[in-house]
Amino acid sequence: MTRPALVLVHGAQHDSRCWEPTVAELERQAPDLRVLAVDLPGRGGTPGDLSSLTIDDCVTSVLEQVEKAGLQEVVVVGHSLAGLTVPGVVTRLGAARVRRLVLVAACVPPQGGSVLDTLAGPMRTYARRAAARGLPAPPMPRALATWAFCNGMTAAQRRHVLGSLCAEATRPTAEPVDRTGLPQDVPRTWVLTRRDRSLRPRRQRQSIEALGGVEEVLELDACHDVMVSHPAELAGLLAARCPVDVVDVP
């Protein structure tokens, strides 16, 4: 019997620590499931220069971490701005190794567009100003991060998020995306967060349309950082999308 591993890719201003509550739940609910929460370049122990970082740099880094971990068949999960990275990861791994692509409250621009074309409200203003400076953006001010990521959280959950915010590269938000090589036969799931302030449900549905091929949309009554606010529910959804294959032995 074989089961694909989960590869978790964080979004902007975050690192792999954002997945810790969900990883703990996965260990409880599906102890046989291998889980890799990556750090994109410039975060955690992953080397990288945030001043020059590109989408392709992020894709290459995820692939290197997958290979280093010795993972073969995988389910690739991307949160928020990882909507830029994970299509490239799936493209380069190919349909033979990727069993499913799961996007969680993600930002997916139309083909040839950029993130700056998709944001609205305070997040658009913040991102445009950061990109215009052309320098890595410092961690988001606590008040804005609380509003954007943490509505409805407990005090402990807010501390977890706010205590692990990271500086962020700004160049990828202005890069045009190219998903022409994305395998069409990899199933696609979207986890839509109904209480999201960073990416309102309407914006997420626009991203679903931009990505195309999404076969299921799973709605959670949660804020943007659902992996912290609702770890048990998210872990259950992810584990269920990593089914065990029974291999027939002749």
Task: Give yes or no for residue 134 having a pLDDT over 90.
Answer: no
Percent of the chain with pLDDT over 70: 97
Task: Give yes or no for residue 202 having a pLDDT over 90.
Answer: yes
What are the structural domains, with CATH classification, of the chain?
5-240 (3.40.50.1820)
Kindly report the pTM of this predicted structure: 0.94
Looking at every residue in the chain, the average pLDDT score rounds to 93
Query: pLDDT, tens digit, for every residue of 11-55?
Result: 999 999 999 999 999 999 999 999 999 999 999 989 999 999 999
Task: Give yes or no for residue 248 having a pLDDT over 90.
Answer: no
| Residues shown for the chain | 250
pLDDT of amino acid 192: 98
Average pLDDT over residues 81-106: 98
Average pLDDT over residues 87-93: 98
